[in-house]
Amino acid sequence: MGSRRLIARNRFRNTLNTFDGVKIDASLSNLSITAFYTFPVTRKPTLDIHQSINDRELDSSSSDVRFYGIHASLKTSVGDVEFYGLQDQDSLNRTQRQTFGNLANIKLSQQLGINYEVALQRGDYRSQPISANFFHIALSSRFNRANVSVFYDFASGDDTPTDSFEGFSTLFGARRFEYGPTGIFGLFARSNMASMGVSSDIQLNERNHLFMQIRAFDIHRSSVSGRLNGELLGNGDFLGTLSELRFRSKIAESVQFESGIALANLNRKVVTGERLTSYAYLQASYAF
């Protein structure tokens, strides 16, 4: 829905975000509304020290975890407004989280435009009040067949000494289109970070596109980099840079080919050994 930053179906992963529930779509003259009430499906089995890697278990949902919301799209400069609620009574980290958001694309001129998204999260996490936020803004300009964007992203991290919880939750959003070429290359996420960068999407001809992007990441609040080697970082510490190159070609009406590479140059404090992490892929899709 919307920008896919808060709720999306993964397009490049073996395990997709799925939900059991009901969804209603309605349209008026200048207004489109989607409302839903679901039980997120938990991917199983969850491996622990007492399980064999050959164990089998069906995925399932539970009424203890509920995800619901409404997304309204207005055909005006107001853009889209959204509300999502997540209730989790099934874990030690009991959560009641409400997310309020607004996103829009504003055309400044024939070649220049701004798109933004802002989201505020409130509720309770482990009996702590939640006060988290996220912000994205991009200035884009069109030059012949190239679209160039300068952008900035911010997602709050938790300030441990305070009585509230400030860590922004990514909910069920996709990161593929912003933080790497595929959903399984997950060095960076939309949480506890500030990031600035530039990208260019070039239409080489009617069938071929080239995409380039480079961005730098800083951590927002002092935290342990658990995804890497567990080193403690300070407020605003540099995490690293991510460079990406992608080529996409529509070989035929129903066949698309894609190839990409990503290079991450990471801070020595957050990774052991070689700082440069590389990832490359090839993929083809057939629509029928």
From start to end of the chain, where are the E strands? 19-27, 31-42, 60-61, 65-74, 80-88, 95-107, 112-125, 128-143, 146-155, 193-203, 208-219, 223-224, 232-233, 238-252, 255-266, 276-286
Tokens representing 248 are 């996409």
**Could you give the percent of the chain with pLDDT greater than 70?**
91
Contact 171, 36 (CB under 8 A): no
Question: How far apart, in Å, are the Cα atoms of 175 and each of 23, 155, 160, 231?
Answer: 23, 13, 26, 24
55-85: pLDDT as tens digits? 788 888 888 899 999 999 987 777 899 999 9
pLDDT the model gives residue 48: 65
Report how far residue 244's alpha carbon sits from residue 276's, in angstroms, rounded to the nearest whole number: 13
Residue with the larger pLDDT of the pair 77 and 37: 37
> Which whole-number Å values give the CA distances from 254 to 90, 210, 285, in the listed order?
43, 19, 8
Distance CA 26, CA 43 (A): 31
- How far, in Å, are 59, 222, 223 from residue 192 at the CA level? 30, 9, 9
* Number of Cβ within a 10 Å radius of residue 163: 8
Q: Confidence band (pLDDT; 50, 70, 90) for 42? A: confident
* Cα–Cα distance measured from residue 104 to residue 2, given in angstroms and rounded to the nearest whole number: 10
Closest to 69 measured CA to CA, from 48, 49, 86, 89: 86
pTM assigned to the model? 0.86
